């Protein structure tokens, strides 16, 4: 029972209370507690029996401390279970639809006793939502599309969710005396942005064929199992609570490398590799690379041995998608792809000036601990009123505050003044050019009107990057993984024009975005468009967590030269749209005055 799981249970309880019409103060208390559980560095499970220690955590009161103890002791929360019994478990799934909040769910329940996605889809088809408050034709169509998008992604899990389970289960497995190594394989090891299941390979003395029974029973006793799928001689398969399937394989040490290679590569990669092995007189499977004629093992223990025996260089797991890596490895021409040590700065983050939780100084100090040489403070602009975005007056004052902190850091780290400025519906930026001209880093992003047509959105984005002060296009497709599809956009046209103008594309490393995706990152490289990777952090504790984004850059075969923030502070600024001067924009669009 980790902090993230506790936070989820509390947040779900708050949602259920809001659906139930509970007092808003009570709902907020659960939401505050959920945020506290997510953000605190205290391991809540270890202090659950110590109410004094729990009460020291901001956002946790006496009654909530008792609830936390109940969660840790039982794995659930009685109030949550009571509300789920009343409404059905499907009510929580409804909340996963884009734009669906507790108030809308409550509306559907009160009007038509709708508590599942299937029931909502049937009500839409039958026309039973027409006439309900806030349910015009446009909103109903958005719901229909949201259901379609959700069903397409059902059974997939974000990379950070899969990775979180991998870490938890691995920690449990390594407590068994006969297991000394656990490695995730499959799509998680390849760094895919979502995973359908989780493969874990375990080895050690207790995983030898003659000793696996005790290890299998230990795996099957993992307390996080929601339901058991199968239990064999050397494999245990189960679902965890959120529905993710986990396959744990127990392997002898001498076959570990072969199994790791076999269960990591994509199907296409493995087929191509086996064909190469057959042409060379070998057979390759999860146990060994062996001679075809007599079955003598040639390589088994490590991946490096297997690839070397096939006349190839070892390759990063993220590259194993059959996109030319096998041929490049055989020619010994694999590029030196980007590594975490190459990143020197993070240039997209938010502070308490808009919707962040940390001050400028706290961000700078946290970045220093990450080993960064520079950061850019890029709070939101005024169009996003819900984020307390900056207008022109506040933006100018904010610039001065950033410069003050920069001076006070005395060269230990550079702090650039920046902004994440909104791209309005017609492609204009929502701060005056006179203000943007004083910023060192201007990120232009779309945050509204995602429903525009492909032509409208493309013209909108092209006009925005034509602005002479736009340096970076932020999270270019606007997607939220498994929650919101990318908006329609002619990516080729945008990347080509950005390359001509010297505008960089952001790869937003937040695991809920990972935007651009690996395909578009490859396209950007082909078209000569530079990339900036950033964390989009809203809290100093999240700085430095760009690992999931880094894996997408690796999947796209990007090198340090392709990513601008691998450069020093001065070089970064020098290559960030150099030589641009104020001038006119070529793209104009005519939109209604509808609010964005």
Residues 44 and 58 in one domain: yes
Residues 542 and 520 in one domain: yes
Residues 66 and 130 in one domain: yes
CATH number of the CATH domain containing 314: 3.30.210.10
Burial grade of 230 (CB within 10 A; 0-12, 13-18, 19 or more): exposed
pLDDT at residue 132, rounded to an integer = 85
Q: How many Å apart are CA 65 and CA 82, to the nearest integer?
A: 19
pLDDT greater than 60 at residue 577: yes
Length of the chain equals 596
pLDDT above 70 covers a percentage of the chain that reads 96
More confident residue, 339 or 485: 339
Positive/negative CA dihedral, 453, 459, 462, 467: negative
DSSP string, 91-151: HHHHTTSTT--HHHHHHHHHHH---SHHHHHHHHHTTTTTTSTT--HHHHHHHHHHHHHHH
Burial grade of 565 (CB within 10 A; 0-12, 13-18, 19 or more): buried
CATH number of the CATH domain containing 30: 1.10.150.110
pLDDT at residue 591, rounded to an integer = 33
Among the listed residues 539, 531, 591, the one whose alpha carbon sits nearest the alpha carbon of residue 561: 531
Question: In the structure, what pLDDT confidence band is assigned to residue 175 with cuts at 50, 70 and 90?
Answer: very high
Question: In the structure, what pLDDT confidence band is assigned to residue 296 with cuts at 50, 70 and 90?
Answer: very high
For residue 227, give Cα distances in angstroms to 168, 188, 220, 293, 391: 17, 22, 10, 44, 53
pLDDT greater than 90 at residue 206: no
Q: How many Å apart are CA 252 and CA 136, to the nearest integer?
A: 61
Residues 215 and 228 in one domain: yes
87 located within any domain = yes
* CB distance 535 to 501 below 8 Å: no
Residues 230 and 264 in one domain: no
Q: How do residues 109-127 score in pLDDT, each as one tens digit?
A: 988 899 888 899 888 888 8
pLDDT greater than 80 at residue 588: no
Residues 120 and 228 in one domain: no
Least confident of 4-18, 133-147, 233-247, 302-316: 133-147
Phi and psi (nearest 5°) for 244? -70, 130
Residue 487 DSSP symbol: P
Among the listed residues 151, 124, 147, 249, the one whose alpha carbon sits nearest the alpha carbon of residue 197: 249
pLDDT at residue 398, rounded to an integer = 97
Q: How many Å apart are CA 203 and CA 23, to the nearest integer?
A: 52
Residues 28 and 125 in one domain: yes
Question: In the structure, what pLDDT confidence band is assigned to residue 393 with cuts at 50, 70 and 90?
Answer: very high
596 located within any domain = no
pLDDT at residue 278, rounded to an integer = 96
For residue 250, give Cα distances in angstroms to 186, 230, 245, 247, 285: 15, 14, 17, 10, 16
pLDDT above 90 covers a percentage of the chain that reads 67
Residues 131 and 37 in one domain: yes
Residues 167 and 293 in one domain: no
589 located within any domain = no
Question: In the structure, what pLDDT confidence band is assigned to residue 425 with cuts at 50, 70 and 90?
Answer: very high
Residue entry with tokens 């082909």? 526
pLDDT at residue 482, rounded to an integer = 86
pLDDT at residue 579, rounded to an integer = 59
199 located within any domain = yes
Q: How do residues 302-325 score in pLDDT, each as one tens digit?
A: 999 999 999 999 999 999 998 899
| Domain stop point among 236, 251, 266 | 251
CATH number of the CATH domain containing 191: 3.30.460.10
Question: In the structure, what pLDDT confidence band is assigned to residue 587 with cuts at 50, 70 and 90?
Answer: very low
Residue 578 DSSP symbol: T
| Domain stop point among 195, 216, 251 | 251
pLDDT greater than 70 at residue 107: yes
What's the whole-number mean pLDDT along residues 258-281?
Answer: 94
pLDDT at residue 227, rounded to an integer = 87
More confident residue, 547 or 589: 547
CB atoms within 10 A of CB 492: 12
Q: How do residues 458-514 score in pLDDT, each as one tens digit?
A: 999 999 999 999 999 999 999 999 888 899 999 999 999 999 999 999 999 999 999
Question: In the structure, what pLDDT confidence band is assigned to residue 1 with cuts at 50, 70 and 90?
Answer: low
pLDDT greater than 80 at residue 594: no
Residue 563 DSSP symbol: B
Q: How do residues 428-442 score in pLDDT, each as one tens digit?
A: 999 999 999 999 999
Helix axes 3-19, 102-112, angle to 10 degrees: 40
Pull the structure tokens for residue 43: 């391991």
Residues 537 and 570 in one domain: yes
Q: How many Å apart are CA 319 and CA 334, to the nearest integer?
A: 10
What's the whole-number mean pLDDT along residues 296-304?
Answer: 93
- Name, in order, each residue with C-beta under 8 angstroms of 176's C-beta and a sequence gap of 6 or more: 206, 215, 218
Q: What are the DSSP E strand ranges found in 151-303? A: 157-158, 181-184, 194-195, 197-203, 225-231, 235-240, 245-251, 282-284, 289-291, 297-299
374 located within any domain = no
What's the whole-number mean pLDDT along residues 273-290?
Answer: 95
pLDDT at residue 150, rounded to an integer = 76
* CB distance 162 to 2 below 8 Å: no
pLDDT at residue 130, rounded to an integer = 85
Q: How many Å apart are CA 186 and CA 198, to the nearest integer?
A: 7
What's the whole-number mean pLDDT along residues 552-574?
Answer: 96
408 located within any domain = no
Residues 179 and 213 in one domain: yes
C-alpha neighbours within 13 Å on the C-beta side of residue 226: 10
397 located within any domain = no
Residues 204 and 289 in one domain: no
pLDDT at residue 592, rounded to an integer = 33
Least confident of 14-23, 91-100, 525-534: 91-100
Phi and psi (nearest 5°) for 445? -135, 150
pLDDT greater than 50 at residue 369: yes
Task: Give me the domain span that covers residue 433.
Answer: 340-349+420-575
**Please, what is the average pLDDT of the chain?**
91
Question: In the structure, what pLDDT confidence band is assigned to residue 394 with cuts at 50, 70 and 90?
Answer: very high
CATH number of the CATH domain containing 459: 3.20.20.140
394 located within any domain = no
More confident residue, 197 or 132: 197
Pull the structure tokens for residue 13: 């309880």
Longest C-alpha distance within the chain, in Å?
79
Among the listed residues 405, 340, 341, 342, the one whose alpha carbon sits nearest the alpha carbon of residue 375: 405
| Number of separate domains in the chain | 4
Pull the structure tokens for residue 227: 């339901």
Phi and psi (nearest 5°) for 473? -95, 115
| Domain stop point among 228, 251, 274 | 251
What's the whole-number mean pLDDT along residues 261-277?
Answer: 93
Least confident of 206-220, 338-352, 579-593: 579-593
pLDDT greater than 80 at residue 41: no
Question: In the structure, what pLDDT confidence band is assigned to residue 580 with cuts at 50, 70 and 90?
Answer: low
Question: In the structure, what pLDDT confidence band is assigned to residue 290 with cuts at 50, 70 and 90?
Answer: very high
pLDDT greater than 60 at residue 596: no
pLDDT at residue 590, rounded to an integer = 39
pLDDT greater than 80 at residue 2: no
């Amino acid at each position: 029972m980790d902090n993230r799981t506790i936070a989820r249970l509390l947040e779900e309880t708050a949602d259920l209370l809001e659906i139930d019409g509970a007092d808003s103060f009570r709902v907020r208390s659960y939401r505050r507690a959920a945020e506290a559980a997510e953000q605190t560095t205290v391991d809540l499970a270890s202090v659950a029996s110590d109410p004094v220690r729990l009460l020291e955590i901001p956002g946790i009161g006496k009654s909530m401390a008792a609830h936390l103890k109940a969660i840790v002791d039982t794995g659930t929360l009685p109030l949550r279970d009571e509300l789920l019994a009343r409404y059905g478990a499907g009510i929580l799934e409804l909340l996963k639809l884009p734009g669906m909040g507790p108030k809308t769910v409550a509306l559907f329940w009160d009007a038509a006793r709708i508590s599942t996605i299937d029931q909502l889809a049937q009500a839409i088809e039958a026309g039973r939502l027409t006439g309900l408050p806030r349910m015009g034709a446009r909103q109903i169509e958005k719901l229909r599309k949201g259901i379609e998008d959700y069903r397409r992604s059902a059974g997939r899990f974000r990379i950070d969710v899969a990775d979180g389970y991998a870490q938890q289960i691995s920690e449990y497995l390594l407590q068994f005396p006969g297991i000394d190594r656990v490695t995730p394989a499959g799509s998680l090891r390849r760094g895919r942005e979502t995973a359908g299941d989780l493969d874990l390979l375990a080895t050690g003395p207790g995983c030898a064929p003659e000793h696996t029974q005790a290890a299998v029973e230990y795996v099957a006793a993992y307390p996080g199992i929601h339901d058991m799928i199968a239990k064999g001689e050397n494999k245990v398969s189960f679902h965890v609570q959120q529905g993710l399937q986990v396959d744990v394989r127990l392997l002898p040490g001498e076959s570990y490398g072969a199994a790791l290679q076999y269960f990591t590569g994509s199907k296409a990669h493995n087929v191509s590799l086996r064909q190469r092995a057959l042409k060379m007189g070998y057979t390759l499977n999860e146990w060994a690379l062996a001679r075809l004629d007599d079955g003598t093992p040639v390589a088994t223990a490590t991946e490096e041995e297997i690839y070397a025996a096939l006349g190839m260089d070892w390759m990063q797991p993220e590259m194993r998608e059959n996109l030319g890596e096998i041929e490049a490895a055989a020619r010994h021409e694999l590029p030196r792809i980007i590594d975490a040590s190459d990143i020197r700065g993070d240039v997209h983050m938010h502070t308490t000036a808009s919707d962040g939780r940390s001050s400028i100084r706290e961000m700078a100090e946290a970045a220093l601990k990450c080993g960064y040489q520079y950061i850019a403070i890029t709070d939101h602009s005024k169009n996003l009123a819900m984020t307390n975005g900056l207008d022109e007056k506040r933006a100018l004052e904010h610039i001065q505050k950033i410069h003050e902190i920069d001076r006070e850091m005395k060269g230990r780290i550079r702090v650039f003044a920046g902004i994440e400025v909104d791209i309005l519906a017609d492609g204009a930026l929502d701060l005056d050019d006179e203000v943007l001209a004083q910023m060192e880093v201007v990120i232009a992003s779309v945050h509204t009107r995602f429903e525009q047509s492909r032509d409208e959105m493309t013209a909108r984005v092209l006009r925005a990057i034509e602005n002479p002060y736009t340096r970076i296009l932020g999270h270019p497709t606007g997607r939220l993984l498994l929650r919101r599809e990318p908006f329609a956009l002619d990516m080729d046209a945008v990347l080509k024009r950005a390359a001509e103008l010297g505008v960089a594309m952001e790869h937003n490393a937040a695991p809920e975005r990972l935007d651009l995706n690996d395909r578009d990152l490859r396209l950007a490289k082909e078209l000569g468009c530079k990339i900036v990777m950033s964390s989009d952090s809203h809290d100093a504790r999240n700085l430095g967590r760009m690992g999931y984004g880094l894996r997408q850059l690796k999947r796209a075969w990007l090198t340090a030269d392709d990513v601008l923030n691998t450069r020093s502070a001065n070089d970064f600024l020098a290559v960030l749209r150099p030589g641009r001067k104020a001038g006119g924009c070529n793209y104009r669009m005519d939109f209604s005055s509808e609010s964005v």
